[in-house]
Structure 1
Amino acid sequence: MKKDQLLTRRRALIAGVGVLGGAGAAGLLTRGTGGEAGPSAAPAPGPPARRPLKPSAYRLQPLAGYGPPVDSAGTPVRREPLLRMTGIGRTMVLTFDDGPDPRYTPDILSTLRQYDVRAMFFVCGEMAAEHPDLLAEMADDGHVVGNHTWSHPLLTGLTRGRIRAEMERTSEIVEKAYGERPLWFRAPYGAWNRAAFQLGAELGMEPLAWTVDTLDWTEPGTRTIVDRVEGGAGPGVVVLAHDAGGDRSQSVWALRDYLPHLLDAGYHITVPRRYQV
């Protein structure tokens, strides 16, 4: 599939996006923390009965289309990552890290497609290089793909040159497989430093962390993951989950449970977009 074809069909399919506009994208700026994949365990059985979320009488209508490409020279250098979206009503963002993984990512994409929902995937370059078809599928469905470095290292222990190489190499493989370079990045383990913010901005990317951490990498059980998402649901919330890095069966089952419940409660699940500044 040629790059221009991927771009054409992505833009034709993408809709229902929220707004995080360029230099005005900042929400609550506090640092988040991430985790490292723990040992594999058997997934929990199907989700049990759940408590109701606070109902809502409406759902937000989608905002159509993307703005023009962002000029990297206009990308601000943050001191802290963005944690949430602001000023856009009852809207949430679902994000998935560390993939794509052919064992779990297709199931997550299938569930999102079933409910016509867009999400963000922060991919590792080495995984994307092995599974470019999954990035093409993300493009087809209108999801946003972000940069999660090449090999998922702890950036605070790397030289500036190594950080750039991790980011730049991943952006290149994303552009090749997805159709355009990523406009968002996320530091592995939630460990940010000045060099990461500066280099990310130089590459035209905004740093996005999260509001709600499911801690699904600890494999706490499907029910626990669902409770964390539903308990943390709120306007502008960004949810962190994983589609790779270990046994993610619980993450797959949890998404099937909490996604329709969030929609029924009146939340609009969307992805951010950026405007040229």
Structure 2
Amino acid sequence: MRLSSIIMSVAILLAACSGQTAQKEESIKKDEPVAEEKKPDLVEQEDVQSPETNVEEEKGEEPIDEVAAPEYKMNAVFALEPIKDANPKVVLLTIDDAPDKYALEMAKTLNELQAPAIFFVNGHFINSPEKEAILKEIYNLGFEIGNHTFSHANLTSLSPEEQKEEILSVNDKVEEITGERPKFFRAPFGANTDVSKQIAAEEKMLVMNWTYGYDWEKDYMSQDAIADIMVNTELLVNGANLLMHDREWTNAGLEQIVNGLRDKGYETLDPKLIETPQ
């Protein structure tokens, strides 16, 4: 009797355990589907971006350089007028016959004064590695390089083919040295022709003469004389297009000229703000 009671108790206990196990397994099947083994590195992949992703995001955050919209246009007498509400009291500084002897020194003076300008070059002055380096330095200082023909010949005396060579050879050479073709063209003596105007249009250059200039006249071939007339001439008006040359006396008086113009309230116009053919 005692033995049978023990056997019965064991059987009941086994049955109970078996039922609990089955119930637990059934519960798991119904409510707790078995998941795949956890992979810790998946969490890390979600939170940590790859180097390539970071590079792309950094690239996307870099500012995009935008070309400034033109603020001035040239009128029929080669002066500069505001397109909208830009400051009308400006003057444009231009230096012809560069780089002869003083162009680089003039560029450095203007750079120190933070006075923009156009340097109109003659091709026959870019005739050596040294002169090419000077032109590149002027360009690297931030100045516009204009086309003043190869030999400074009067275009009205040349054939169409000769005019084309005079102009395009300079554009090609300037582009070779600086990486940029000129945007401005000034004919020697202001003597434009139908041919030169057509070539300038095809090359997207603005044909530009001047408002006044004096440094080729004998009376103004000294530092003080040229500085005085450039600032105090009655021809000084809003938007005036000032013609100067690569000359010893103009180089010497250049700082006086810029400061004198500013004392009169004139701003030196950045050529990059001038509308050019597109």
Q: TM-score category by the smaller chain?
A: 0.5 to 0.7
State how far apart, in whole Å, the 2-side matches of 1:238 and 1:136 are.
24
Partner of 2:240: 237
Describe the SS at the equivalent of 1:204.
coil
Q: Cα 1:264–1:105, aligned 2, differ >3 Å: closer, same or farther?
A: same
Cα offset for 1:129?
A: 3.8
Name 2:258's counterpart in structure 1: 259
Q: Counterparts of 1:142 and 1:157 in 2: how far apart (Å)?
A: 34
Who is 2:80 aligned against? Answer: 85
Task: Give, as a single letter, the amino acid of the residue that structure 1 aligns with 2:230.
Answer: V
Q: State the alpha-carbon separation in 2 of the partners of residues 272 and 105 from structure 1.
A: 17
- Which has the larger displacement, 204-213 or 214-223? 214-223
Distance 1:175 1:217, change over 3 A: farther
Name the structure, 1 or 2, with higher relative contact order (CA <8 Å, separation 6+).
1
List per-residue Cα deviations over 1:51-110 (Å, max 9, x = no partner): xxxxxxxxxxxxxxxxxxxxxxxxxxxxxxxx1101241111110111102x31122112
Pairing of 1:149-160 with structure 2 (within 5 A)? 149-160=149-160
Return the structure number with greater helix share. 2
Pairs aligned (count): 202
* CA distance, structure 1, for counterparts of residue 203 and residue 106 of structure 2: 28
Aligned with residue 71 of structure 2, among 6, 15, 19: 19
| Cα-to-partner distance string for 1:176-198 (whole Å, 9 max, x where unaligned) | 11220001100011111211111
SS at match of 1:98: strand
Q: Which has the larger radius of gyration?
A: 2
For normalisation by structure 1, the TM-score amounts to 0.67
Is 1:105 aligned to 2:95, yes or no?
A: no
Could you tell me how far apart the structure 1 residues matched to 2:185 and 2:197 are?
Answer: 9
Distance apart, 1:224 and its partner CA? 2.5
Q: Does residue 268 of structure 1 match 2:273?
A: no
Instruction: Tell me which residue corresponds to 1:69.
Output: none
Of 258-267 and 248-257, the range deviating more from structure 2: 258-267
Cα distance, 1:152–1:158 mapped onto 2, change above 3 Å: same
Q: How is 1:37-76 mapped onto 2 (pairs within 5 angstroms)?
A: none
**What is the DSSP-based 3-state SS (H/G/I as helix, E as strand, rest coil) of the residue aligned with 1:95?**
strand
TM (norm. structure 2) is 0.67
Mind listing any 5+ residue stretches in structure 2 that lack a counterpart? 1-64
Contact 1:118 1:141 in 2 (8 A): no
- Structure 1 position 18, deviation (Å): 7.0
- Kindly indicate whether the alpha-carbon contact (under 8 Å) linking 1:122 and 1:148 is maintained by their aligned counterparts in 2: yes
RMSD: 2.3
2:196 aligned counterpart, secondary structure = helix
> For residues 134 and 179 of structure 1, what CA distance do their matches in structure 2 show?
15
- 3-state secondary structure, aligned to 1:241: strand
User: d(CA) in 1 for partners of 2:224 and 2:271?
Assistant: 28
Counterpart Cα distance in 2 of 1:254 and 1:151: 27
Answer whether contact 2:107 2:138 (CA < 8 A) is retained. yes
Q: What amino acid is aligned across from residue 111 of structure 2 in structure 1?
A: R
Residue 177 of structure 2: aligned partner: 177
Letter in 2 for 1:149: T
**Percent identity of the aligned residues?**
29
